[in-house]
């Protein structure tokens, strides 16, 4: 393998929700090293010492924990980057606030880190403190002053990563243009692409934001994260739709994972493959290897499960194997051999059901990857049972059969977890449409109504 064209290859624990445990972070550092990644940013949104109580100094056990993470990272040639997110409450014009911010960064520098991160994302887009409004003419001018002050206070050679308040878009907006011109060009700046969770990262957009920032951009890629509005999805599909030549205008990529630690490794392994050799990267091949490595003996069953959990900002395709199975079933039922159609879809459903049962048993036995996925496994199992019922339908299903499908559909939706993308949902909607579903059904419903009268 040739040397990676990306200088920065890593992960940011930057999601909303329960942060990872200390043991999981140590495990992730080892995982990154095995996959030739080189950066780990510590920035969980719900860690109070990073966001809500950012002014409080690290003391005692907190310093010991950080020191262990820093030492483990050094042993693995990983750059460990402690981050702070002060933007919700910081007064940019306050000398004491600026001093508290700098001192907290310096306390981690004394532990041996070579980089820190100042994250100003997900805060109001305007100055809120009256004293700041009196001193600065805009949020970005206040932030430029604070960012440069922090950087100047850091030891010589120490890196500073910054996430701006406007961190996605076309890349030529006024805020990000002013920030790029105003802060020291040696500071690394994050950008998530056209969207918060960008379906694609292309070369043109990378060139635009790099020109605007006056430095190569570092992408903060919000995948496989599934927080906020995505909590019903489990993002275990492969990394894709990232330009093979992205390194021409980018320092690198840091991926924001899920709170589901083991599940995140599936996508992170494919991200590592892309970053290590983007020209040779093949998403599906990389994904298959990742599942083999991480799911172990359950790999084949997990692949069946994961193929039906591809829904994410990266994936335009939902449950491709189920889509093909339904296409074949309905075509053969209506225009070919209904018996063969039923047998083939029934066998497909049996494969899903077998995988679901074995994976649920492994979860019950304590397999950590599958324990994390337990809620989605229940939806997977229920969906597989529903597909089995569909395979047994005639071309003109009875009212009772359709009512049963409606009940199953409601049960699937009530789980609150997304499986099979839109494929199963839309199929069930089509099958249970009143009257106009099939002419035969309309006749039966009309006959039933007359008999009741």
pLDDT in tens, 107-161: 999 999 999 999 999 999 999 999 999 999 999 999 999 999 999 999 999 999 9
Please tell me the predicted confidence (pLDDT) of residue 434: 62
Given the residues 46, 47, 71, 122, select the one marked as catalytic: 122
With bands split at pLDDT 50, 70 and 90, how would you rate the model's confidence at 453?
very low
Rounded-to-integer distance, Cα 308 and Cα 265, Å: 18
Q: HSE of 169 in the Cβ direction (CA atoms, 13 Å)?
A: 12
Q: How many residues does the chain have?
A: 453
Does 448 score more than 70 pLDDT? no
In the beta sheet, which residues pair with residue 83?
117
Percent pLDDT > 70 in the chain is: 95
Q: What is the mean pLDDT of residues 59-71?
A: 96
Instruction: Of 200-209, 244-253, 424-433, 434-443, give the lowest mean pLDDT range.
Output: 434-443
Report yes or no: 265 and 219 within 8 Å, Cβ to Cβ: no
Tokens of 323: 């889509």
User: Are 165 and 141 spatial neighbours (Cβ–Cβ below 8 Å)?
Assistant: no
Query: Dihedral (C-alpha) 269, 271, 275, 280: value to the nearest 10 degrees?
Result: 80
Phi, psi of 81 (to 5 degrees): -125, 100
pLDDT tens sequence across 348-395: 999 999 999 999 999 999 999 999 999 999 999 999 999 999 999 877
DSSP letters along 357-406, please?
A: HHHHHHHHTT-HHHHHTHHHHHHHHHHHHHHHHHHT--SS--HHHHHHHH
| Beta-carbon-side half-sphere exposure of residue 267 (alpha carbons within 13 Å) | 30
The model's pLDDT over 212-225, given as tens digits with 9 standing for 90+, comes to 999 999 999 999 99
Query: 149 CB contacts (<8 Å, ≥6 apart)?
Result: 98, 102
- Asked whether 105 and 154 are in contact (CB, 8 A), the reply is yes
243 given a catalytic annotation:
no
Distance, CA of 413 to CA of 16 (rounded, Å): 24
- The confidence score (pLDDT) of residue 396 equals 81
What's the confidence (pLDDT) of residue 334? 86
For residue 444, what pLDDT is reported? 36
Mean pLDDT of 323-337: 93
Boundaries of every domain in the chain? 8-281, 320-441
**pLDDT greater than 70 at residue 304:** yes
pLDDT at 443: 37
Mean of per-residue pLDDT scores for the chain: 94
| Percent of the chain predicted with pLDDT > 90 | 92
**Domain 8-281 class?**
alpha beta
Q: Which pLDDT band holds residue 316 (cuts at 50, 70, 90)?
A: confident
CA atoms in the 13 A half-sphere facing the CB of 210: 18
Question: What is the number of other CB atoms lying within 10 angstroms of the CB of residue 2?
Answer: 8
Q: How confident is the model at residue 272 (pLDDT cuts 50, 70, 90)?
A: very high
Comparing 442 with 409, the larger pLDDT belongs to 409
């Amino acid at each position: 393998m040739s040397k990676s064209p990306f200088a920065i290859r890593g992960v940011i624990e930057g999601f909303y929700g329960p942060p990872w445990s200390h043991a999981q972070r140590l495990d992730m550092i080892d995982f990154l090293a095995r996959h030739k990644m080189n950066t780990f940013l510590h920035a969980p949104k719900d860690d109070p010492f990073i966001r809500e109580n950012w002014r409080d100094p690290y003391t005692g056990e907190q310093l010991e924990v950080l020191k262990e993470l820093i030492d483990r990272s050094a042993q693995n040639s990983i750059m460990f980057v402690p981050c702070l997110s002060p933007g919700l409450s910081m007064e940019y014009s306050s000398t004491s606030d600026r001093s508290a911010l700098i001192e907290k960064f310096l306390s981690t520098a004394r532990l041996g880190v070579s980089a820190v991160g100042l994250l100003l994302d997900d805060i109001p887009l305007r100055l809120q403190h009256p004293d700041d409004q009196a001193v600065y003419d805009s949020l970005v001018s206040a932030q430029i002053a604070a960012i440069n002050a922090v950087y100047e206070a850091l030891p010589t050679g120490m890196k500073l990563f910054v996430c701006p308040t406007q961190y996605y878009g076309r890349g030529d907006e006024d805020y990000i243009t002013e920030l790029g011109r105003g802060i020291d060009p040696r500071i690394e700046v994050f950008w998530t692409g056209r969207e918060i969770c960008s379906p694609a990262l292309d070369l043109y957009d990378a060139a635009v934001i790099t020109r605007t920032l006056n430095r190569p951009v570092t992408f903060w890629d919000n995948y496989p994260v599934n927080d906020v509005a995505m909590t019903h999805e489990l993002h275990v599909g492969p990394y894709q739709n990232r330009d093979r030549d992205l390194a021409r205008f980018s320092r690198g990529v840091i991926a924001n994972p899920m709170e589901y630690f083991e599940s995140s490794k599936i996508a992170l392994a494919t991200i590592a493959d892309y970053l290590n050799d983007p020209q040779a990267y093949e998403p599906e091949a990389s994904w298959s290897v990742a599942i083999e490595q991480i799911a172990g003996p359950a790999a084949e069953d997990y692949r069946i499960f994961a193929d039906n959990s591809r829904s994410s900002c990266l994936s335009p395709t939902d449950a491709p194997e189920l889509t093909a199975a339904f296409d074949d079933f309905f075509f053969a039922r209506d225009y070919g051999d209904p018996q063969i159609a039923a047998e083939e879809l029934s066998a497909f459903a049996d494969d899903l059901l077998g995988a679901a049962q074995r994976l649920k048993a492994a979860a019950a036995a304590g397999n950590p990857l599958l324990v994390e996925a337990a809620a989605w496994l229940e939806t997977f199992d229920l969906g597989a049972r529903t597909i089995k019922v569909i395979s047994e339908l005639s071309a003109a299903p009875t009212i009772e059969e359709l009512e049963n499908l409606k009940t199953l559909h409601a049960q699937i939706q009530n789980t609150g977890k997304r499986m099979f993308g839109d494929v199963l949902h839309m199929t069930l909607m089509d099958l249970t449409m009143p009257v106009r579903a099939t002419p035969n059904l309309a006749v039966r419903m009309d006959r039933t109504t007359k008999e009741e009268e």
